[in-house]
Amino acid sequence: MTDYEAVIGLEIHVQLSTRTKMFCGCELSFGEPPNTHTCEVCLGLPGALPVTNEQAIHYGLMIGMALDCQLAPRSIFHRKNYFYPDLPKGYQISQYDEPLCRGGRLGDVRIHRVHLEEDAAKLVHTGTSGRIHGADTSIVDFNRGGTPLVEIVTEPDVRSAEQAGEWLRLLRTTLRQLGVSDVNMEEGSLRCDANVSIRPVGTRELGTKTELKNMNSFRFIEKGIRAEIARQEQRLRAGEEVEQETLHFDPRTETISTLRSKEEAHDYRYFPEPDLVPIAISEAMLERAKSALPELPAARAARFERDLGLTADSARLLAWRAELGDYFEAALSADGVEAQPLANWVNELVARIDVEDPAESKVRPGALATLVGLVSERKVTQGAAKQVLDTLVAEGGDPQAIVERDGLTAIGGGDELDPVVQAALDANPEIAERLRNGDMKPIGVIIGHVMRETRGRADGGEVTRLVRAKLGL
């Protein structure tokens, strides 16, 4: 049976956080009454002339630099012609063969191009509550029309749904760190299309690709790609062909349906926008963009590994989620706390909170650092520390005070542990005999018994030492 591999390219649309729209002076808005942020330009009225948003170009250059792209000294806008109710001009102002940025790389995925364009308006489908003459209706909100967009197109370097999700999270963190967009997928600030094809493993020829449109969460993107890979593989194994088309993935039913046949570039009849002058990038514009770049996630991960000795996985987790990296570095500023144990406990904290940013939880960075210090100094055990962390998540406060209040100080001395260990051996004579004969595998039973009796306060190493001493090992 033929084994197939996926070949995936991503197209990401990012709404830029400028004050005004791409080609007019209307302020950007979200969630405001429909059609209250419009003018003759973004409504496409006859005779209205567009003017390019300088801040959008600046943000585009920052993105190009962050993605290590080649920046064009000169680029132009084109008219991308198609008819749709949310596009009043009958065309979209975009970039075609002279984009702002080409090439580049983020992580292990190459960038094909980055270009500027305007967003379309928003269609609102009213359903049965808005029927006119017995038919379902759609209305158009032009507030979004003309919002500045950057489209980032990757090379087909992605090989799985999981890799796509991981890379998109890295891209979102990078864009958020740049400050060019709020990258809020729920509000449509970050939207992703996936071009998916499969081919026999070991071959280089690309299969027929399909396009999954406008998926608005990482989880849905991964589910949609997995479903489309399975659909294509099923067709090929049945001797059928994959047709090039644009598809919709319904996350509720996890089914894929056809939207339309896939358009080619010539279908859009691109031609240069006659009402806009070319963009000429000056040295001053490049210097301004370069000076605005912060430390980017990839560089931060490398610094965490190089300077702090974190594992690659820990460094990537903390750097690729900026809020975790910020929290980690705030906690690390406490004197004496070790970086890797702290990174591990940040993971423990993340697993216990229901907010994305741990800074929004009740656990202050300094409190987590104090808890890690107590564990490192063996003043509390790992098990007891997790109890303390649970309390911090629920109540906040000082770890040392919680340890004292709840009686969670570690029991490390032999005098206090000796009778507890003896009782555990007496309660498990068969285990004790196996240990006495050199089989140390079941020692966990004894340690577990002691931990239950001491509410997790016993030092596991000291328990092991006492067991060996009592059994003459």
The secondary structure of 259-314 as a DSSP string is: EEEPPPGGGGT-EE-TTSPPEE--HHHHHHHHHT----HHHHHHHHHHHH---HHH
User: Token pair 């009782």 is at which residue?
Assistant: 423
pLDDT of residue 134: 53
Which residues 6+ apart lie within 8 Å of 46 measured at CB? none
pLDDT for the residue numbered 444: 76
**Phi, psi at 169, each rounded to 5°:** -65, -40
The stretches in the chain having pLDDT less than 50 are 128-130
CATH tag for 414-470 (out of 1.10.10, 1.10.530, 2.40.50, 3.40.50):
1.10.10
Residues 260-279 have pLDDT tens digits of: 776 666 688 999 999 999 99
The string of pLDDT tens digits covering residues 69-89 is 999 999 999 999 988 888 989
Q: What is the pLDDT of residue 239?
A: 92
**Residue ranges of E strands in 103-220:** 105-106, 109-118, 122-132, 135-141, 148-154, 190-200, 210-215
- Residue 128 has a pLDDT of 47
Sheet strands (E) in 401-442: none
Domain boundaries, the chain: 4-291, 297-406, 414-470
User: Are the C-beta atoms of 117 and 100 separated by less than 8 Å?
Assistant: no
